[in-house]
């Protein structure tokens, strides 16, 4: 599974440019799918099973896209100005490496201002690709890029770019694989959605939920932690298990969904945490308000340094997330 994490995290796929990562995910899930749809927005929708007498139509969503940047201007010396695709923090950018979708590599730096010790703003940053003028610059206005960072293992911790939300994608791929290989028959009709354009407004999850019209929906995404020096005051730690979202800034999780997730974790002795995220949201926000409304929640993988080129997760949390997902799908849902 670590090989799969490394493979999927390293594939470039900023919002709106998910073609390459979608093809890789499709190759992983195709042997286990009953039906596969790629919709007009670029979502990969994988159906498994049919709803039985005690079953529900369940939508699971993990987004394929990652944060990135887009060129807005090339100056007379060949330096590239850019805007953000998703939640890019300027403080994480300086000296960062990027790769454009056409393969061009570059480094980000900041305008020098005498005596200025403040954190840079996006308009003070530029990308240097080694060009000397617009004519020899291989990047043009509208070209998109992602951050580059090598995959690392630090003990039981995994560090790389794009774990938001390729790690959620891995959880869904592995849950589907394990259920198929272990011949676990779910009472539910399950839609594994690998969504597009989450980082720019949970767009793919909204269109997917409208198509599927599920009885219940879950997003699978990362969440922050409160276990770093002077970090957020948050009761989530790496290594203490997946987190069951109670609320975030865009959604109140349905209490019945929270109960379903926590009671299943307790029944199967899977460690878990309860999550309240004060900033940010997930695909569950879009699922919840689709059509006439959907009971929704979120399975969160604790992550440090979200929206940086070096996001970190605990491998044990990933394994327990898969274990909980398989357990949730293997049994009827009494709470709904």
Positions marked catalytic = 198
SS3 track for 167-223: HHHHHHHHHHHHHHHCCCCCCCEEEEEEECCCCCCCHHHHHHHHHHCCCEEEEEEEE
CA distances from 148 to 46, 48, 198, 322 (A): 29, 34, 20, 27
Return phi, psi of residue 190, to 5°: -110, 130
Tokens 């596969």 sit on residue: 36
Task: Annotate 194-230 with b (16+ C-beta within 10 A) or e (fewer).
Answer: bbbbbbbebbbbbbbbebbebbbbbbbbbbbbebeee
Which residues, including other chains, have CB under 8 Å from residue 266's CB and lie 6 or more apart?
none
Q: Is 63 exposed, middle or buried (0-12, 13-18, 19+ CB in 10 A)?
A: buried
**DSSP code, position 288:** H
Q: What distance in Å separates the CA atoms of residue 111 and residue 35, rounded to the nearest whole number?
A: 51
Task: Annotate 84-95 with b (16+ C-beta within 10 A) or e (fewer).
Answer: bbbebebebbee
281: its two tokens:
């949201």
Which residues, including other chains, have CB under 8 Å from residue 231's CB and lie 6 or more apart?
225
Q: What distance in Å separates the CA atoms of residue 172 and residue 194, rounded to the nearest whole number?
A: 9
């Amino acid at each position: 599974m670590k090989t799969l994490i490394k493979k999927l995290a390293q594939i470039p796929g900023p919002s709106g440019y998910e073609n390459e990562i979608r093809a890789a995910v499709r190759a992983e899930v195709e042997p286990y799918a009953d039906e596969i749809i790629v919709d007009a927005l670029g979502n990969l929708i994988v159906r498994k099973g049919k709803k039985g007498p005690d079953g529900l139509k369940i939508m699971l969503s993990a987004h394929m896209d990652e944060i990135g940047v887009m060129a807005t201007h090339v100056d007379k010396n060949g330096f590239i100005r850019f805007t953000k695709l998703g939640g890019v923090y300027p403080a994480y950018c300086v000296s960062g490496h990027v790769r454009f979708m056409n393969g061009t590599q570059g480094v980000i730096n900041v305008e020098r201002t005498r005596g200025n010790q403040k954190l840079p703003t996006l308009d003070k940053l530029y990308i240097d690709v080694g060009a000397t003028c617009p004519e020899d610059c291989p990047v043009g206005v509208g070209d998109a890029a992602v951050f580059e960072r090598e995959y690392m293992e630090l003990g039981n911790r995994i560090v790389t770019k794009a774990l938001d939300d390729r790690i959620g994608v891995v959880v869904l791929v592995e849950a589907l694989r394990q259920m198929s290989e272990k011949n676990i028959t779910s009472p539910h009709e399950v839609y594994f959605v690998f969504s597009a354009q989450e980082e720019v407004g949970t767009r793919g999850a909204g269109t997917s939920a409208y198509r599927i019209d599920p009885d219940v929906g879950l997003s699978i995404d990362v969440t922050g932690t409160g276990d770093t020096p002077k970090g957020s005051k948050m009761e989530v730690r790496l290594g203490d298990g997946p987190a069951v979202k109670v609320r975030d800034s865009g959604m109140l999780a349905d209490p019945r969904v929270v109960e379903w997730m926590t009671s299943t974790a307790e029944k199967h002795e899977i460690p878990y945490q309860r999550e309240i995220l004060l900033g940010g949201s997930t695909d569950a926000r879009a699922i919840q308000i689709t059509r006439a409304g959907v009971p929704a929640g979120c399975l969160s993988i604790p992550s440090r340094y979200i929206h940086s080129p070096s996001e970190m997760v605990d491998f044990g949390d990933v394994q327990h997330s898969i274990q909980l997902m398989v357990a949730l799908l293997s049994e009827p849902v009494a709470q709904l």
